């Protein structure tokens, strides 16, 4: 139930490699609760043409799912104007006599497609799945939902044998400017892009509910999908049934500030991994103590900032290596993979001929994958379209990112440049977001999950949202992970008390009587 790797990795790689940079939007403005509690619009039930899912959705079709399109306004301020189509999937409840209703889900991003997300959710739900129609959907402009395409990207120039942090940064600035141009000037995009926003996705979700003839809707969302769920409860409190959000963020922060806040937890996660790697020195040879392991990582990064590390026909500069480290350090179960990647890269940096192991080979393959471009575009749409939390609020001046990146190195030598230099093409986006960010303050019942040592969306952010959602209960797991629910279905160490809390709530509607901290499941530090 984590953010899809193609979204997480693709957005970052696009920013640091081929197509992203300094970013957008004025300081986040927020719509007040009073402005958000207008009566729910009278949305009609639509007659949907259910049929097989797209041919590419093999697993959905094999699972017996049906797919259709819900027609929604491009601009909800002009409901009689131009429309777009939202792709939805449905796996019907198998206990119709005890059917609860619909359970919509979103896997995260921003920019993640979700038509097939119900398939990954269903094993964790166990018997609860039988009581709901499981509804997946691709958010507007993504996947099969009236997709936005940008003009083809020109091939990026690979890193040369010599570079510098400033040179890498300038390359990303030029790439971001080009990405903004080819997205905004392509086809009819100029008319569509202003309507890519989290608030419009929430409106589309309520339109899906109405089209299906349901008075209320249950929901499960992870990461950005969790924040999307909180936005939905604020905008459509009367439409919310049983809402579960996993791995959420501070609603007082902009998206850029959220990236920055990850710097310290990422360094702490690397410290935790370094202790693990030191205990396995005989296998990985990275250092017998945690400081020695950290020194190995730092030596490789320092070298890559001057001379990108060559592995086969590919040169890896420091921004890409930082992103590789970040990808694996998110979850405890990634410790062996991270150690293997660092070992391979350290050998290559020392001039050895390296045959990449499976972990590094998979990352290198993704560098040339079309998924990289798709993930970048999807993330940029909402980061540049939101007027504040949860996805927007990016500074316009590229030098802001550079100064913050340089300043962060003193206390965050590995991840500070990534967290502070994480940029989107929004600095060069034409126009301003049409709406302010969403100020979440309501008492809708919500079940929240959060890993205490999440270094993607820090725990303090979930606490801040928990205080705003006064009807919520928080289930905490003391693990290093991005995402808590359903970990066992992905081959990771499960958190049984969190899984049970979610399934009990979706089954009988009863929130825990108080916030819970799940007992340790043997997580190794």
Q: What is the CATH number of the domain that holds 68?
A: 3.40.50.1820
The answer to whether residues 492 and 366 belong to one domain is no
pLDDT value, residue 171: 87
Specify whether 427 is located in the same domain as 449.
no
Q: How far is the CA of 336 from the CAs of 95, 273, 340, 404, in angstroms?
A: 42, 9, 6, 31
Residue 525 lies in a domain: no
Quick one: 429 and 483 in the same domain? no
pLDDT at 96: 76
Q: Do 85 and 232 sit in the same domain of this protein?
A: yes
Say what the pLDDT of residue 219 is. Answer: 98
pLDDT in tens, 266-280: 999 999 999 999 999
pLDDT above 90 for 46: no
User: Looking at 434, 449, 482, which one is the last position of a domain?
Assistant: 434
Interatomic CA distance for residues 276 and 322, integer angstroms: 19
473 DSSP assignment: E
Predicted pLDDT at 240: 98
- Lowest-confidence range among 24-38, 62-76, 155-169, 242-256? 24-38
List pLDDT tens digits, range 459-505.
Answer: 999 999 999 999 999 999 999 999 999 999 989 999 999 999 999 99
Q: DSSP secondary-structure letter at 223?
A: T
Query: Rounded to the nearest 5°, which phi and psi values hold at 246?
Result: -120, 115
> Can you give the pLDDT at residue 522?
55
pTM: 0.91
With beta carbons less than 8 A apart as the criterion, state whether 197 and 387 touch: yes
Tell me whether residue 481 is exposed, middle or buried, using C-beta atoms within 10 angstroms of its C-beta: 0 to 12, 13 to 18, 19 or more.
buried
Residues 212 and 320 reside in one and the same domain: no
Q: Which whole number is the average pLDDT over 395-399?
A: 92
Q: Is the model's pLDDT at 373 over the cut of 70?
A: no
Per-residue pLDDT, 460: 97
- Render pLDDT for 111-151 as a digit per residue (tens, 0 to 9): 889 999 999 999 999 999 999 999 999 999 999 999 999 99
Q: Which of 454, 466, 472, 481 is catalytic?
A: 454
- Quote the number of domains for the chain: 2
Q: What is the pLDDT of residue 32?
A: 41
For residue 87, the surrounding DSSP H or E stretch is strand 83-91
The dihedrals phi and psi of 454, each to the nearest 5 degrees, come to: -65, 120
Query: Is residue 43 in a domain?
Result: no
E strand map for 417-488? 437-438, 446-451, 472-477
With a CB cutoff of 8 Å and minimum separation 6, the contacts of 390 are: 110, 198, 224, 227, 228, 230, 231, 249, 251, 255, 437, 438
Residues 305 and 444 in one domain: no
Final residue belonging to a domain, choices 410, 434, 458: 434
Catalytic residue check, 481: no
Quick one: 420 exposed, middle or buried, by C-beta within 10 A (0-12, 13-18, 19+)?
A: buried
> What's the whole-number mean pLDDT along residues 376-387?
86
CB 481 within 8 A of CB 451: yes
For residues 134 and 87, state if they share a domain: yes
Residue 305 included in any domain: yes
pLDDT of residue 521: 64
DSSP state of 334: G
Residue 133, strand partner residues = 102
In-domain check, residue 156: yes
482 is catalytic: yes
Q: Kindly state whether residues 127 and 268 are assigned to the same domain.
A: no
Return the higher-pLDDT residue of 507 and 111: 507
C-alpha distances in Å from residue 230, one per residue of 57, 93, 96, 221: 29, 25, 29, 9
Q: Is 508 a catalytic residue?
A: no
What pLDDT sits at residue 18?
A: 29
Under the banding of pLDDT at 50, 70 and 90, the label for residue 375 is low
Task: Show which of 412, 434, 456 is a domain's final residue.
Answer: 434
The pLDDT of 167-183, averaged and rounded, is 89
- Indicate if the pLDDT at residue 353 is higher than 70: yes
Does residue 465 lie in a domain region?
A: yes
Q: Of the residues 223, 248, 405, 481, which is catalytic?
A: 223
Q: 297-311 pLDDT, tens per residue?
A: 999 999 999 999 999
Residues 175, 319, single domain; the answer is: yes
Residue keyed to tokens 């890559």: 304
Q: What is the mean pLDDT of residues 40-65?
A: 87
**Structural domain harbouring 446:** 58-148+192-251+438-518
Residue 430 has pLDDT above 80, yes or no: yes
Q: How many Å apart are CA 290 and CA 346, to the nearest integer?
A: 16
Examine the domain organization and report whether 291 and 410 are in the same domain: yes
Cβ 183 vs Cβ 431: under 8 Å: no
On whether residue 28 sits in a domain, the answer given is no
Give yes or no for a cis peptide into 202 (omega within 30° of 0). no
Is 6's pLDDT higher than 60?
A: no
- With vertex at residue 169, the alpha carbon angle to CA 168 and CA 174, rounded to the nearest 5 degrees, is 100
Please state, rounded to an integer, the average pLDDT across all residues of the chain: 89
Catalytic residue among 197, 206, 482, 499: 482
């Amino acid at each position: 139930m984590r953010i899809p790797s193609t979204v997480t990795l693709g957005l970052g790689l696009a920013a640091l490699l081929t197509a992203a940079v300094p970013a957008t939007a004025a300081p986040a403005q927020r719509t007040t609760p009073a402005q958000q509690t207008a009566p729910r619009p009278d949305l009609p039930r639509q007659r949907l043409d259910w049929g097989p899912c797209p041919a590419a959705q093999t697993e959905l079709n094999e699972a017996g799912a049906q797919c259709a399109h819900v027609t929604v306004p491009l601009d909800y301020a002009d409901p009689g104007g131009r429309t777009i189509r939202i792709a939805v999937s449905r796996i019907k409840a198998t206990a119709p006599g005890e059917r609860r209703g619909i359970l919509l889900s979103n896997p995260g991003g921003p920019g993640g497609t979700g038509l097939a997300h119900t398939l990954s959710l269903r094993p964790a739900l166990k018997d609860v799945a039988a009581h709901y129609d499981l509804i997946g959907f691709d958010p507007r402009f993504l996947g099969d939902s009236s997709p936005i395409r940008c003009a083809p990207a020109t091939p990026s120039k690979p890193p040369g044998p010599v570079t510098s942090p400033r040179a890498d940064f300038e390359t990303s600035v030029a790439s971001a400017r080009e990405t903004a141009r080819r997205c905004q000037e392509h086809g009819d995009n100029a008319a569509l892009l202003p309507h890519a926003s989290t608030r419009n996705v929430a409106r589309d979700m309520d339109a899906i509910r109405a089209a299906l003839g349901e008075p209320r809707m249950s929901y499960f969302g992870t990461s950005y999908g969790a924040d999307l769920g909180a936005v939905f409860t604020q905008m459509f409190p009367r439409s919310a049934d049983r809402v579960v959000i996993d791995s959420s963020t501070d609603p007082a922060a902009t998206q850029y500030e959220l990236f920055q806040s990850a710097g310290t937890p990422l360094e702490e996660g690397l410290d935790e991994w370094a202790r693990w790697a030191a205990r396995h020195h005989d296998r990985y040879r990275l250092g017998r103590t945690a400081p020695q392991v950290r020194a190995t990582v730092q030596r490789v990064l320092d070298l890559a900032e001057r001379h990108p590390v060559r592995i086969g026909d590919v040169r890896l500069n420091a921004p890409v290596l930082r992103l590789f480290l970040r990808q694996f350090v998110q979850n405890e179960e990634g410790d062996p993979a991270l150690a293997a990647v660092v070992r391979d890269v350290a050998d290559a940096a020392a001039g050895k001929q390296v045959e990449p192991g499976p972990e590094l080979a998979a990352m290198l393959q993704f560098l040339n994958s079309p998924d990289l471009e798709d993930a970048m575009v999807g993330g940029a749409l909402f980061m540049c379209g939101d007027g504040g939390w949860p996805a927007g609020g990016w500074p316009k001046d590229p030098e802001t990112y550079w100064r913050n990146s340089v300043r962060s190195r003193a206390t965050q030598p590995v991840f500070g440049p990534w967290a502070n230099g994480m940029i989107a093409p929004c600095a060069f986006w034409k126009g301003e977001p049409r709406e302010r960010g969403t100020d979440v303050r309501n008492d809708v019942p919500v079940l929240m999950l959060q890993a205490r040592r999440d270094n993607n969306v820090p725990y303090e952010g979930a606490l801040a949202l928990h205080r705003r959602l006064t009807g919520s209960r928080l289930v905490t797991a003391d693990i290093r992970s991005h995402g808590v629910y359903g970990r066992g279905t992905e081959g990771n160490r499960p958190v049984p008390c969190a899984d049970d809390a979610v399934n009990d709530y979706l089954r009988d509607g009863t929130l825990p009587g108080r916030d819970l901290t799940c007992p340790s499941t043997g997580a190794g530090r």
